[in-house]
A and B are shown apart, each in its own frame.
Chain A
Amino acid sequence: MATKNSHDRDNNIVNPKHNPTVAALLSIIPGLGQAYNKRYGKGAALFILFAAFVIAMIDFITTGLQGLVTLGEVPREDDSRVFLSNGILSLIFTAFFLTFYILNIQDAFKDAKRIQLGWKVPNIREGFKNAWDTGFPYLLVGPGLFLLMFVVVFPLLFMVFLAFTNYNLYNAPPRHLLEWVGFENFINLFTINEWRNTFINVLSWTLIWTFVATTLQIALAMFLAILVNDPRVKFKKLIRTVFILPWAVPAFVTIIIFSAIFNDNFGAINLQIIEPLFNTRIPWLQDPFWTRVALILIQVWLGFPFVYALFTGVLQGISSDWYEAADIDGANRWQKFRNITFPHLMFATAPLLIMQYSFNFNNFNIIYLFNQGGPAVRGQTAGGSDILISWIYGLTFENQQFNMAAAISIILGLLVATFAFFQFRRSRSFKEEGTF
């Protein structure tokens, strides 16, 4: 590279007087560098855009950033939440502005360099066409990006900032002002006994829940798929239709129905199965252990059909040559499953199965609809079947401990991000392995 550049510099400089550094420096006022490059139309457009942005936004951004630092000064009059959200918006706008500002300087520098090497400046029409071509993908991404910014990124940022304030039931705007408290919420989470115990209990149940429920639903799906795939089984289409039903019926309906069926006093499970058989009733909704058992059973019911359908598709695609060869070698069923069926199933569906795990990790609906995270447990701020996401919901909308909810959200977010990172690397390595 370096040799090539110096080579260019020695031989091909056509306009040695045109200095890229000057162009870059001039575009500290956007557009001026472009004008120096004799691209007047582009320069004017840039200058007008930047000037318009600065004139329109400067007030909002400066007050917004100031507000982000102070979070309001007059209690009952200043709403800290509005200050916070305006501050975050200002940050986003500033980030946009800086990106474009840097791009503008880079652009002037690059053009100047090309002019130096004898590039002929396009006229306005050509320039417009070029801008259209390079700008087109941004135009396409624009609307989506805009929505994403406000509906996903902005709220997540807001959450992150909340975790460093003292926003809770007793200190809620607009009556009180919020203050920055640094890492106090995180420190409390790990040092105050009540919070620490709750956190450890909820986190361990979340992990157990994710692992057990998902693995069971995959195992059941695999078992049934192999069973039904047996060539001697008839009515395959009917069986498949019935097996897929739990996936087809909206989950929120079935979960509510299950919570009625599992009802301690007049649910069908207790009245029609447990009581006649064992002459007792199981406290499905009152006892944390039994609630968890019921949740896992219901999730298996809800979750196995999708995996079953996937597996059935893969099984039908495995060439019978494999099994014939295995028969010749005298392999028994277990060996055939272990060495042919299982690897095929796993290889074809691994990313989807991983997605099932991540889905259950944040499976708010079932936890909340079945027993609202309950039953309540003495001495902790979460119910006996709460997973992280439903605990956060409870803290936010029932206990109004916004600061703690936000702090836990950040921890949850970090867990999710780590997981996503590994999953991404995995799926890439899958790609590179090519076809089976």
Chain B
Amino acid sequence: MSTKNRKPMSKKRKNLLEMIGIYTVIGIMFVIILYPLLWTLGVSFNPGRGLYGAQIIPDNWSLAHYEWLFFDPRSNYLTWYKNTLIVALSVSALATFTVGLTAYAFSRYRFKGRKNGLYAFLLLQMFPVLMAMVALYILLNTVGLLDSLVGLIIIYIGGAIPMNAFLVKGYFDTLPRELDESAKIDGAGHFRIFFQILLPLAKPILAVVALFNFMAPFMDFILPRIVLRSPENFTLALGLFNFVNDEFANTFTRFAAGAILIAVPIALVYLFLQRYLISGLASGATKG
């Protein structure tokens, strides 16, 4: 605007004012972001069980809720942790493997139905699995996999395929084809090209896929809610959700304690790997 007419002094002042403005905005954002998180941490140390009267800085600190989660005989927390780990590990391993195979086929081979397959994947990844819940419920019921972790694992893997196959296919496409062609000339078979040449090169994206699929069972509560019935089969997210869902104001502090225990490790993983996760997501989406 009219900066030219002003004296240098006012330019310096303008600079200062701007910096104050920027830091104020950042400060406000800090408060808005950190308040709910710190509040949860504070609440988890409250001795009372209810939301009412829970304080962000408790008068008398207490680890009672954490102790309850781990040591009380009525608490299933450790079982839930174990269930979630079982589900997360199997989904992560099996989904990454299946997705790798599928993406390899779509990236490297020109076969009948390839194009339609790609369209189908593109379309299917837009549909939320939730839309088909009734059918899944009935299907699992008929094959006897309702209320079992196996049923949950199978659904997670199936649901993960379309989206992740796209992600990995996009990555495979960026790897030069000359590599596998020269290997083919040297007499390497299909599987050898896949396992010894492409897989090692695709490690970064496969790691991202594995990690996402590992994390999903920790954060999803709705699918377990439909599939799992008995508390000893619950996953963490579902179990915690039930703390607040059953009797809302009663066990909120217990929920807070349990939530902190899963939020902290997950948040740490995300923060450490943020660059890979975000660039992985970004490249998959733009190249797909």
Binding site for B on A (CB under 8 A): 81-82, 85, 132-134, 136-138, 140-141, 143-145, 147-148, 150-159, 162, 224, 227-228, 230, 232-233, 239, 241-254, 256-258, 260-261, 263, 265-266, 268, 301, 306, 309-310, 313, 332, 349, 351-352, 355, 358, 362, 364-365, 368-369, 389, 392-393, 396-397, 402, 405-406, 409, 412-413, 416-417, 419-420, 424, 427, 430
Is B255 in contact with A256, judged by CB distance below 8 angstroms?
Answer: yes
Closest residue of chain B to A402 (Cβ to Cβ) is B134
Instruction: Name the distance in Å between B23's Cβ and chain A's nearest Cβ.
Output: 8
Once A148-B124, A227-B25, A245-B33 are accepted as A-B contacts, the answer to whether A257 and B101 lie under 8 Å apart by CB is no
- With beta carbons under 8 angstroms apart, the residue of B101, B131, B266, B281 that contacts A144 is B101
Question: Cβ of B165 and Cβ of A252 under 8 Å apart?
Answer: no
Chain A, interface SS category: helix
Q: B167-202 vs A: 1/0 string, CB under 8 Å?
A: 000000000000000000000001000000000000
Complex formed: what's the CA distance from A244 to B271 in Å? 8
Within residues 146 to 172 of chain B, which ones have a CB less than 8 A from any CB in chain A? 154-155, 157-159, 161-162, 165
- CB atoms of A159 and B132 under 8 A apart: yes
Known interface pairs A136-B109, A141-B101, A365-B222. Does A253 touch B135 (Cβ–Cβ under 8 Å)?
no
**Do B131 and A392 have beta carbons less than 8 Å apart?**
yes
CA distance A245 to B271 in the complex (A): 8
Inter-chain contact A151/B159, CB cutoff 8 Å: yes
Name A416's closest neighbour in chain B (CB-CB). Answer: B126
Q: Does any Cβ of A come within 8 Å of B279's Cβ? A: yes
A268 and B38 CA atoms in complex are apart in Å by 13
Contact of A141 among B117, B139, B190, B268 (CB under 8 A): B117
Query: B237 to chain A: which residues have CB within 8 Å?
Result: 250, 252
Closest A-chain residue to B117, C-beta based?
Answer: A141
* Interchain nearest-CB distance for B191 vs A (Å): 9
CB-CB contacts below 8 Å: B200-246 with A = 218-222, 226, 237, 240-241, 244
Spell out B's residues near A (CB within 8 Å). 1, 15, 19, 22-23, 25-26, 29-30, 32-34, 36-37, 39-40, 51-53, 56, 98-99, 101-102, 104-106, 109, 111, 114, 117, 119, 122-124, 126-136, 138-139, 142, 154-155, 157-159, 161-162, 165, 190, 218-222, 226, 237, 240-241, 244, 249, 252, 255-256, 259, 262-263, 266-268, 270-271, 274, 278-279, 281-282, 285-286, 288
Q: Which of A232, A242, A313 contacts B33 (CB 8 A)?
A: A242
Could you pull out 5 A-B pairs where Cβ atoms are within 8 angstroms? A156-B135, A224-B29, A250-B219, A309-B278, A351-B286
Return chain B residues, CB-CB under 8 Å to A150: 139, 158
The reply to whether B131 and A420 form a contact with Cβ atoms under 8 Å apart is no
Output the least CB separation between A224 and chain B (Å).
Answer: 7
Inter-chain contact total with CB atoms closer than 8 Å: 234
CA distance A145 to B217 in the complex (A): 22
Contact across chains for A151 and B136 when beta carbons are under 8 A apart: yes
Question: A143 to B249, alpha carbons, bound, how many Å?
Answer: 46
With A140-B105, A159-B131, A248-B271 as contacts: A256 and B278 at CB distance below 8 Å: no
Q: A85-B142, A143-B101 are in contact. Are A396 and B126 (CB under 8 A)?
A: no
Asked, given contacts A151-B159, A245-B33, A396-B134, whether A144 binds B102 with beta carbons under 8 Å apart, the answer is: yes
